């Protein structure tokens, strides 16, 4: 007796994947995190976001200064001018003379800001790292040394400006020490270096404080192993200390760079208004605002804002500045990426069931 026999060949059985229901109180990277940071985000919205939007609106308007032909009086209010406040930077420049020569006032301020940022941050980084290395060592009176180093950073900037103004006065302490008659507070290159010295003195401890926090995370066993292997002090510094404190140091340098780019109170309180050798973009925008030219003041402020955003982007993208510094968040993000890749790989390996019919003659 012959008959057809149907045989079902099953392929790989799809695994049963259980979807775990997210818990609002345990999923710290989801809804709960959004709820917790929402008050801070609202504060940032009102303190930062809304002023930026108002500045954008103000930058495209200009206060009326023309005479109304109908009344013969100066027209009140303001009128929409589009991008004219920005184009006037180059079309109708205000020429001033400073250390960099005769040029547009905004470009002169831009060069001053860049010069202060590069020189100040470089010196502060070197001195800050040196301070951190001193504060990290175990010696008698370490607490007093740490407090003494951090005192300049705790002093309000305007107080530091007035204090250094007295030091750099023509009859001040600095000229007494140098036995010279240098006009530090005049409109010259010496005034730039006076601002740099005051700024480095005040804010180098900030970089030292953040670098010290990074140094304290390095295990002492690492240095002991390096000394056993014959590494000298310089090799330990370049191959152990610097690489391991790089995350904290880069963030500290980023914060100091952005803070120096918007420098205002130190040169204003120390040197004064109208000194183009030390005038920054913030000072220029403040002067324009005081002269009731709100549109141009807003335009200059937005130019500075764009410059700061560009520098911050370069730091984050090229130097790897980790502003958040949350290792747990990065680990969870990497874990989720691996889970997604694993799920895709499992779906790719799953094959659908195949049914074949085999016929033949069988003897009973």
In this predicted model, what pLDDT tens digit does every residue of 120-161 receive, in sequence order? 999 999 999 998 888 887 677 777 887 888 888 889 999 999
CA distance readout (Å), 43 to 48, 50, 251, 292, 301? 8, 10, 23, 29, 21
Q: Work out whether the CA dihedral 41, 44, 46, 51 comes out positive or negative.
A: negative
Tell me 23's DSSP state.
P
Give 90: exposed, middle or buried? Use CB within 10 Å, 0-12, 13-18, 19+. Answer: exposed
Task: Indicate the angle between helix axes 281-290 and 105-136, nearest 10 degrees.
Answer: 130
Beta strands in the chain (DSSP E): 3-9, 61-63, 78-80, 95-98, 101-104, 354-360
Please report the pLDDT score of residue 75 as a whole number.
62
Query: Quick check: 167 and 94 in contact, CB under 8 A?
Result: no
Give 214: exposed, middle or buried? Use CB within 10 Å, 0-12, 13-18, 19+. Answer: buried
Please report the pLDDT score of residue 202 as a whole number.
92
Q: Which residues of the chain have pLDDT under 50?
A: 1-11, 16, 24-27, 355, 359, 361-364
Task: Report the alpha-carbon distance of residue 47 to residue 57 in Å, rounded.
Answer: 16
Number of CB atoms found within 10 A of residue 191's CB? 24
The whole model's pTM is what? 0.74
């Amino acid at each position: 007796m012959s008959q057809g026999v149907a045989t079902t060949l099953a392929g790989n059985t799809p695994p049963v994947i259980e979807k775990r229901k997210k818990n609002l109180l345990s999923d710290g990277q989801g809804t709960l995190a959004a709820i917790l940071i929402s008050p801070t985000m609202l504060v940032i919205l009102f303190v930062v976001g809304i002023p930026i939007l108002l500045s954008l609106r103000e930058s495209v308007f200009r206060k009326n200064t023309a005479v109304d032909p109908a009344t013969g009086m100066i027209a009140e209010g303001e009128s929409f001018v589009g991008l004219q406040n920005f184009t006037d930077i180059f079309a109708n420049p205000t020429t001033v003379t400073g250390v960099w020569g005769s040029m547009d006032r905004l470009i002169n301020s831009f060069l001053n800001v860049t010069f202060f940022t590069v020189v100040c941050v470089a010196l502060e980084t070197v001195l800050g790292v040196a301070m951190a290395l001193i504060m990290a060592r175990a010696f008698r009176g370490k607490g007093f040394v740490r407090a003494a180093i951090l005192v300049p950073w705790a002093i309000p900037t305007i107080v530091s400006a007035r204090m250094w103004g007295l030091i750099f006065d023509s009859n001040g302490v600095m000229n007494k020490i140098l036995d010279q008659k240098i006009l530090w507070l005049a409109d010259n290159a010496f005034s730039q270096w006076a601002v740099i010295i005051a700024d480095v003195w005040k804010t180098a401890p900030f970089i030292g404080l953040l670098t010290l926090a990074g140094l304290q995370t390095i295990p002492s066993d690492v240095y002991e192993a390096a000394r056993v292997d014959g590494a000298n002090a310089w090799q330990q510094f370049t191959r152990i200390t610097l690489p391991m404190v790089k995350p904290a140091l880069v963030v500290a340098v980023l914060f100091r760079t952005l803070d120096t780019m918007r420098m205002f109170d130190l040169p204003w309180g120390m040197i004064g208004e109208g000194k183009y050798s030390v005038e920054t973009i913030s000072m220029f925008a403040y002067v324009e605002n005081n002269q009731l030219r709100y549109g141009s003041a807003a335009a200059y402020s937005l130019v500075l804002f764009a410059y700061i955003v560009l520098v911050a982007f370069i730091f984050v993208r090229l130097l790897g500045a980790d502003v958040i510094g949350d290792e747990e968040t990065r680990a969870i993000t990497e874990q989720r990426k691996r889970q997604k890749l694993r799920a895709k790989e499992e779906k790719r390996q799953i094959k659908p069931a195949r049914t074949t019919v085999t016929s033949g003659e069988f003897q009973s």
